């Protein structure tokens, strides 16, 4: 099936295997004049993004596996996935809504990470083609992983020339907490570590963490710290510095506070890879971005072309509400009430820069 709509990317659908319970997984290929992106229904995951380098040579700039089995056998990296209900961490897997305490699975150092044991990354989403893309839908039942309320999530991926846009919308029938993001690992060189990528983060403050990576609640300035990426700086330039925050996380694995209001579109990050000339620009309506430098990749898993997923061979820019917001009243709220629909938007735009 091919749906070609003027001014939009062409969209094709193919089979991508079945899960152990026999559910079919589909793969949607979005192709514009500049980019080809493949997205599957298992975890609503980005499987590949092919973009040109400065010489026009196409290459895949995201980490992943060649077949569904790789994804099914990997519970911890979240390659390409939409993570939810709550992307990132909730302290001790507990929070209160209207005085009632809820418990969600603790799957990371006594904390809840990325929605629990069977988060949205491990479920097969319903999908249908839209103009230039695909809409994925998931209905998570009241009590799923301990979260209150039946949550309906729509995630629309659409390709517009060199920009992949992700639109999220969520609604619930009972007050709940939600924080959806996309967990793609990028490597603009198409291989090796990402330490030689130049990172710019349009952010003046970040959320430092305690020993189990839960924010302390403070929002210090990045000034004079290895967290200052206001000017383009190599990811590897300061990552081994003697800094408590870098040591706790084994590198960068923190939330940066974005400029501008929650809900307003702003540029979050710009990443330049000097050898290929590729540039990734990230815009979002979210108030924060988790820059994770792939510190926990350990080289034991092998990618699409048999390459090992080495430590720091990919970085994530997870546009989001701040981690542990349900327990931190001073952070922008992640509460969602019945009758509301919350929208958010993130774009990944690919370009190149001359030498």
102 near ligand BGC, judged by CB under 6 A: no
Question: What is the contact mask toward ligand BGC in residues 177 to 216, using x (rule: CB under 6 A)?
Answer: ------------------------------------x---
Distances in whole angstroms, Cα of residue 146 to Cα of each of 15, 18, 143: 32, 27, 5
Q: How far is the CB of 256 from ligand BGC (least distance, A)?
A: 12
Instruction: Based on the shown chain and the rule CB under 6 A, indicate whether residue 253 belongs to the binding site for ligand BGC.
Output: yes
Applying CB under 6 A, which of residues 70, 105, 296, 304 lies at the interface with ligand BGC? 296
Check residue 347 for interaction with ligand BGC (CB under 6 A). no
292 binds ligand BGC (CB under 6 A): yes
Task: For the beta carbon of residue 329, count every other beta carbon within 10 angstroms.
Answer: 8
**C-alpha closest to that of 116 among 142, 89, 145, 139:** 145
To ligand BGC, the closest distance from the beta carbon of 55 in angstroms equals: 32
Full 3-state SS string of 242-283: CCHHHHHHCCCEEEEEECCCCCCCEEEEEEECCCCCEEEEEE
Stretch that binds ligand BGC, among 38-46, 76-84, 231-239, 280-288 (CB under 6 A): 76-84
Which of residues 203, 276, 290, 319 is near ligand BGC by CB under 6 A? 290
Rg (CA), the chain: 19
- What is the spatial distance between Cα 153 and Cα 168, in angstroms, rounded to a whole number? 7
| Closest distance of CB 245 from ligand BGC, Å | 13
Give the list of residues 6+ apart from residue 247 with CB closer than 8 angstroms, or none: none
The per-residue b/e assignment along 256-293, b for 16 or more CB within 10 angstroms, e otherwise, is bbbeeeeeeebbbbbbbbeebbbbbbbbbbbbbbbbbb
Q: How many positions of this chain bind ligand BGC (CB under 6 A)?
A: 11
Considering only 78, 168, 331, 350, the residue that binds ligand BGC (CB under 6 A) is 78
Question: Residues 106, 338: contact at Cβ < 8 Å?
Answer: no
User: In this chain, which of 32, 51, 77, 346 binds ligand BGC, going by CB under 6 A?
Assistant: 77
Please list, in sequence order, all residues whose beta carbon lies within 8 angstroms of the beta carbon of residue 130, skipping any fewer than 6 positions away. 11, 156, 158
String of contacts with ligand BGC for each residue 306-325, x by CB under 6 A: ----------x-x-------
Q: Does 120 bind ligand BGC (CB under 6 A)?
A: no
What is the smallest separation between the CB atom of 254 and ligand BGC, expressed in angstroms?
A: 8
* Catalytic annotation, residues: 183, 318
Query: Which residues are at the interface with ligand BGC (CB under 6 A)?
Result: 76-78, 88, 213, 253, 290, 292, 296, 316, 318
């Amino acid at each position: 099936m091919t749906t070609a709509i003027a001014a939009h990317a062409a969209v094709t659908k193919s089979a991508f295997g079945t899960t152990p319970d026999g559910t079919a997984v589909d793969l949607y290929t979005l192709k514009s004049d500049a980019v080809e992106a493949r997205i599957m229904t298992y975890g609503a995951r980005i499987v590949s993004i092919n973009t040109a380098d400065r010489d026009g040579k196409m290459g895949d700039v995201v980490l992943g596996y060649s077949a569904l089995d790789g994804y099914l056998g990997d519970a911890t990296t979240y390659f390409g996935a939409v993570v939810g209900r709550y992307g990132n961490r909730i302290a001790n897997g507990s929070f209160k809504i209207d005085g009632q305490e809820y418990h969600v699975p603790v799957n990371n150092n006594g904390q809840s990470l990325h929605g629990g044991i069977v988060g949205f990354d491990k479920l097969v989403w319903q999908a249908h083609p839209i103009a230039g893309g695909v809409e994925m839908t998931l209905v998570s039942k009241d009590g799923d992983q301990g979260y209150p309320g039946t949550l309906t999530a729509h995630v629309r991926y659409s390709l517009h020339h060199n920009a992949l846009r992700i639109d999220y919308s969520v609604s619930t029938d009972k007050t709940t907490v939600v924080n959806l993001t996309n967990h793609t690992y990028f490597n603009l060189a198409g291989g090796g570590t990402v330490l030689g990528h130049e990172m710019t983060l349009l952010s003046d403050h970040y959320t430092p963490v305690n020993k189990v990576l839960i924010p302390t609640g403070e929002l210090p300035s990045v000034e004079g710290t290895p967290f200052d990426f206001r000017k383009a700086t190599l990811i590897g330039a300061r990552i081994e510095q003697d800094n408590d925050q870098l040591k706790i996380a084994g590198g960068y694995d923190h939330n940066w506070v974005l400029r501008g209001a929650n809900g307003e579109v702003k540029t979050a990050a710009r990443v330049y890879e000097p050898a290929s000339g590729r540039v990734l620009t990230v815009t979002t309506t979210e108030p924060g971005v988790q820059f994770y430098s792939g510190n926990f990749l350990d080289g034991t898993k092998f990618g699409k072309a048999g390459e090992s997923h080495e430590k720091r061979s990919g970085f994530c820019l997870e546009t989001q509400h701040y981690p542990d917001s349900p327990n931190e009243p001073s952070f922008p709220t992640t509460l969602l009430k019945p009758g509301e629909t919350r929208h958010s938007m993130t774009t990944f735009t690919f370009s190149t820069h001359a030498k």
